Structure 1
């Protein structure tokens, strides 16, 4: 293993927090990772990591060397990317973490169009509604649709603003009656999205008047497509992203209620770890999605 590869592996060990975790990411063994770090310690003449059977911590020298490795690896990757891109454009593997429902319901055609535009980029799309740890999981870009992004250390580029809508099937409204005020929902079977910020309380606003309703129902899920299916068959009332429900609303399978009340909207963001030395394929994807999602 050359020194640059060793430095890459060292960065993985530090970022993953253990030899075993880094070994899984790099598809090798913990003992191989240990040998890499030992060789770097011999090379630098410094102890880089303090290790016990249960923990691993960076020494001061290890921290400084890690910062050096990050800069060296990033600069080398940037130069290589520019040299290769001068002839063929963006290329290589691009790992994307994306929400299940939004991808299957909205985003998939945009991914296909991106690959048509940049055929040398190999997409690896990981569908999960829970936020990915970009560094530990080796994710280049995460697409997240939330009201607020918690991790301020990440770069977040807004791609799409979307409203949410309260809706149910015509049969459900015929059976239970449509609410005239948000508080009327306390008498309804409310099907909630588990991973949202409003899994137990729905917040409505109208001309400065704010009402929060504690909701409960016969079903909750961490997947919006499953909730949509339950709404179509009349299981209850739910709050769903308008882009996912648009066809059902247009064709009458679902009917919205409380249209004069505003639910907190969401934004879809493209999230990545750093602005520095951004690979060309990442920049191309984010720029491409910004244009596509604005259509």
Structure 2
């Protein structure tokens, strides 16, 4: 039996002066109200109400118990009200797990824009490329760029498509020659991203249909910025998000190759534990990112 409802019943019986009036007030049957009162008397081991055919009054134990019930119910309402108000306020701490390289090259401007727009929210960023446990680590939202998501109880909101391109330094291409087909990458020093689902096997789609290439190289790491830096130094060929190399490509410090072929893209997801009872600060950030990134050229 729901003890909170039992406490409500008892208080309404006392405050309305009778079982029938309390039943009407709570939209319960008189029999249900009677059952709740009997349950409380069994739990306390005391008679709480002295009842006759003409009148009803609290016993000494009933008076003590009524004061207790009133404190519990009033405190519950105050606490629930405060929690509901906090849920709807654009304030409080918002913990966001974000990928290192994509954040430092692209997402940082959007996150700073959100912080400026919502100064009441305490934005806490945790930069890491390894998977995180949202519940265990107290994370509200994780942003992740992946080809696809594993089955999960988490909610995943797609934010944008991340297009990846092949690039290398102009001197590297002059010395090694640009491949005309993905299969030509087998003779190049390719720079794999160790956390990628295609770290040592790159996938493309183009004029000749889908192609998969087993790549080899003498430099690999779990950080895309290090790979791009290696490519700038002429070490080899990098396959990375275009948004992370825009300036380098525009300034011709990196040149793309196989432009007629599309590397398997990534999708940026916002991942969070549940759709239910989202705090306003979480909903606001999700809507902000979805609106801004939907028009981004990834």
Q: How does 1:269-288 map onto structure 2 within 5 Å?
A: 269-288=269-288
The change in CA–CA distance for 1:288 and 1:80 in structure 2 (over 3 A counts) is farther
Distance 1:175 1:208 in 2: 26
Across the aligned residues of Structure 1 and Structure 2, the Cα RMSD in angstroms comes to 1.9
Q: Structure 1 residues 151 and 134 mapped into 2: Cα distance closer, same or farther (>3 Å)?
A: farther
- Which has the higher Rg, Structure 1 or Structure 2? 2
Alpha-carbon deviations, 1:51-93, whole Å to 9, x = none? xxxxxxxxxxxxxxxxxxxxxxxxx99854542466xx31101
Q: Relative to structure 1, is the Cα distance of residues 151 and 140 closer, same or farther in structure 2, using a 3 angstrom cutoff?
A: farther
Distance 1:234 1:98 in 2: 29
* Alignment correspondent of 2:120: 120
Q: Distance in 2 between matches of 1:131 and 1:78?
A: 34
Unaligned runs of 5+ in 1: 1-75
Q: TM-score, normalised by structure 1?
A: 0.71
8 A contact 1:176–1:188 mirrored in 2? yes
Task: Tell me the TM-score normalized by structure 2.
Answer: 0.70
2:101 equivalent to 1:101: yes
Say whether the 8 Å CA contact 1:99–1:127 is kept in structure 2.
Answer: yes
| TM superposition shift of 1:271 | 0.5
The answer to whether the 8 Å contact 2:194/2:221 transfers is yes
* Residues 151 and 127 of structure 1: CA distance in aligned 2, closer, same or farther (over 3 Å): farther
Q: Distance in 2 between matches of 1:196 and 1:85?
A: 37
CA pair 77-158 structure 1, distance change in 2 beyond 3 A: farther
**Structure 2 residue 240 is matched with structure 1 residue 240:** yes
Q: Taking structure 1 as reference, are residues 120 and 173 closer, same or farther at Cα in structure 2, changes over 3 Å only? A: same
| Contact 2:87 2:279 survives alignment (8 Å) | no
User: 2:179 and 2:141 mapped to 1: Cα distance?
Assistant: 41
- Change in CA separation of 1:235 and 1:128 when aligned onto 2, cut-off 3 Å: same
Structure 1 stretches of 4+ moved >4 Å: 76-79
SS of 2:130's equivalent in the other structure is coil
SS of 2:160's equivalent in the other structure is strand
Inter-CA distance 85–116: structure 2 relative to 1 (3 Å threshold):
farther
Matching residue of 2:223: 223
Unaligned runs of 5+ in 2: 1-77
Instruction: Give deviations 1:237-264, integer Å, cap 9, x for gaps.
Output: 0100010011111110111111111111
> Residue 43 of structure 1 aligns with which residue?
none
Rounded Cα–Cα distance in structure 1 between residues aligned with 2:232 and 2:176:
15
